[in-house]
Structure 1
Amino acid sequence: MSRPEADPRIPFPHTDARLACRTEPSWFVQEHGQMSNADDRARIERARTACRGCPIAADCLKWALANPELTPTGVWAATISRERKALRRRLQARHGLDWVGVIAQADRAREQARLNRARPSAPDPAPAASAMWTSHYEPWREPLTPGRQQRNRELLNQT
């Protein structure tokens, strides 16, 4: 029997931070039915508490949800297998059978938006006049007749 492959659309999260799952892996072991005694519950609660402060917990949960064959047991991002199964069912009901693809595409779009915000945009070489000046001035739309020109001259001469 071959080992299942991880879904490449959701990469395994990486960090250089010291994580409890690396320093205390025994806290994160949870087999089916291992919530019966107080010691198991306390150990799993320690793991959940450590996950809640983890900088990559959200990405860890996405990876664990996307790879059920690789995470059938254990505590992953403060969840146990029963909770992950329920989350997968909800994601499938909300996004369809390819919910992993939907989540991966949303992640890529968020990352692209973040990169676009971080990249300084070049200044517009010739900003539009309307952007530089705002006015409620409406140009005269009637033709300037000789009679109107004469009336305007008279008004100017009065001052």
Structure 2
Amino acid sequence: MSRTAQAPITQADPRIPFPSTTEALVCRTNENLFVHEHGQNSPEDIRRVQRAKAACRGCPVAEGCLKWSLANPELTPTGIWAATTAKERKTLRNRLRERLGTDWVGVVAKVDRASSRRRQAQSRPAAAEAAPRAHPMFSSPARDSITPEQQRQNRLVLLTAEYQHRTPRPPSP
């Protein structure tokens, strides 16, 4: 009986997304520079690793790359990722586990989401001040949120209209 063994497909941890950019990154244009296996310690290997690490230090997605490579050890067992070797990533994972607990990936993802929300909240007021506000009558509820003061004014208008509709008017002479 023949057995065809297939290795299970390892899925990336969805809590830390793979970094994306439209820029041409060195790791995508010169992949061989980032290949590094355990035990490659020749002077040429060491120079190549140093060049790869230098390229990573100037990369716009290095922080996201490091988080992703740390969160996915099965997918990054070798190579240079975010200026780190496999041995360095293992050390970093152990430190994170000691500092943040066994679900350190969840902790990092939660902090990233909170930071992202804060950045979005901070960027909204600046955009709102830069552009003139549309008149409330012509603004789109999907686009412009209504302030508590506008809510109070709208309620007052509705109550006044309801009161006038229910109150009988005196006959005109």
Aligned position for 2:30: 24
Q: TM-score when scaled to structure 1?
A: 0.75
Alpha-carbon shift at residue 97 of structure 1 (Å): 0.3
1:78 aligns with 2:61: no
Aligned position for 1:130: none
> 1:40-96 CA deviation, whole Å, 9 max, x = no partner?
011111100000000000000000000000000000000000000000000000000
Aligned position for 2:15: 9
Read off the aligned partner of 1:65 and give its amino acid letter: L
Aligned position for 1:151: none
Mapped partners of 2:13, 2:29: distance in 1: 26
Q: TM-score when scaled to structure 2?
A: 0.69
- Structure of larger gyration radius: 1
Q: Which runs of 5+ in 2 are unaligned?
A: 1-6, 129-145, 151-173
Read off the aligned partner of 2:9 and give its amino acid letter: R
Aligned position for 1:98: 103
Aligned partner (choices 38, 42, 47) of residue 47 of structure 2? 42
Q: Percent identity?
A: 55
Aligned position for 2:117: 112
Aligned position for 2:61: 56
> 1:88-109 CA deviation, whole Å, 9 max, x = no partner?
0000000000000000000000
Moved over 4 A (4+): 121-126
Mapped partners of 1:3, 1:24: distance in 2: 26
Mapped partners of 1:125, 1:11: distance in 2: 39
Alpha-carbon shift at residue 125 of structure 1 (Å): 4.3
Mapped partners of 2:98, 2:49: distance in 1: 28
Read off the aligned partner of 1:16 and give its amino acid letter: T
Query: Aligned residues, how many?
Result: 125
Alpha-carbon shift at residue 123 of structure 1 (Å): 7.3
Mapped partners of 2:51, 2:29: distance in 1: 13
Mapped partners of 1:40, 1:124: distance in 2: 63
Mapped partners of 1:55, 1:48: distance in 2: 13
Mapped partners of 1:54, 1:105: distance in 2: 24
Read off the aligned partner of 1:96 and give its amino acid letter: G
Mapped partners of 1:98, 1:74: distance in 2: 24
Mapped partners of 1:30, 1:82: distance in 2: 11
